[in-house]
């Protein structure tokens, strides 16, 4: 569905307030990175923009074999990459564990290689950890999250290797194209649900 609607969308998007178009944060003091995939990166980006402590968000690709893949190559399913977001965050304001908590809320981790109408290995649920401490945190978070799902969580857990940013017109997508069909029909309802579920866990 997304690939069809993409043809309707304008080129040229603005970057998120505190980052450059390449996703690099500006005037930072302390920044750590997290890389998650949960279906369409446009959706995940819009959801994680709602969290405090986020300094940068970049949509892109990771977890595959092909060097410097294009969006079209990733959509073909031949590169092994997933659509992901790379999050630059201030650990003094938001913890890695909090990001993981939001990750399980942001999408359905029990569906294999799909989120809604978006289907393919590029839409798989994946967490790319950077060290042993993150791996342990991910495994614990996954076990805790499983209690909230009747079906088995199929999220792939993998060691981070490389991240490839998507083209500029994929960045900050929802904010730049709020009236586009995909944004209205797919992203907006997911975003509203995400914010509602976050409030529940924070009570």
Of 98, 99, 92, 29, the residue nearest 57 (C-alpha)? 99
Cross-strand bridge partners of residue 57:
87
At a CB cut-off of 8 Å and minimum separation 6, what does 202 contact?
none
Q: Which of 40, 43, 75, 183 is catalytic?
A: 40
Residue pointed to by tokens 């409030």: 199
**Cα–Cα distance measured from residue 30 to residue 106, given in angstroms and rounded to the nearest whole number:** 25
- Number of C-beta neighbours around residue 151 at 10 A: 10
Catalytic (active site) residue 40: yes
Main-chain phi, psi angles of 56, to 5 degrees = -155, 150
Of 41, 18, 78, the residue nearest 163 (C-alpha)? 41
Catalytically annotated residues: 40
């Amino acid at each position: 569905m997304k690939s069809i609607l993409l043809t309707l969308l304008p080129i040229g998007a603005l970057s998120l307030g505190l980052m450059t178009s390449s996703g690099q944060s500006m005037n930072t003091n302390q920044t750590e990175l997290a890389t998650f995939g949960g279906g369409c990166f446009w959706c995940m980006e819009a959801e994680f923009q709602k969290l405090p402590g986020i300094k940068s968000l970049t949509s892109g690709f990771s977890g595959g074999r092909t060097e410097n893949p294009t969006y079209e190559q990733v959509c073909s399913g031949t590169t092994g990459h997933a659509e992901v977001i790379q999050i630059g965050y201030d650990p003094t304001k938001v913890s890695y564990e909090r990001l993981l908590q939001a990750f399980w809320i942001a999408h359905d981790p029990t569906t294999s290689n799909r989120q809604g109408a978006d289907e393919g290995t590029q839409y798989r649920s994946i967490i790319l950890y950077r060290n042993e401490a993150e791996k342990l945190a991910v495994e614990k978070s996954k076990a805790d999250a499983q209690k909230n799902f009747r079906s088995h969580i199929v999220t792939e857990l993998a060691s981070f290797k490389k991240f490839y940013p998507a083209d500029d017109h994929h960045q900050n997508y929802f904010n730049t194209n709020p009236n586009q069909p995909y944004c209205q029909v797919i992203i907006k309802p997911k975003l509203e649900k995400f914010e509602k579920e976050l409030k529940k866990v924070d009570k």
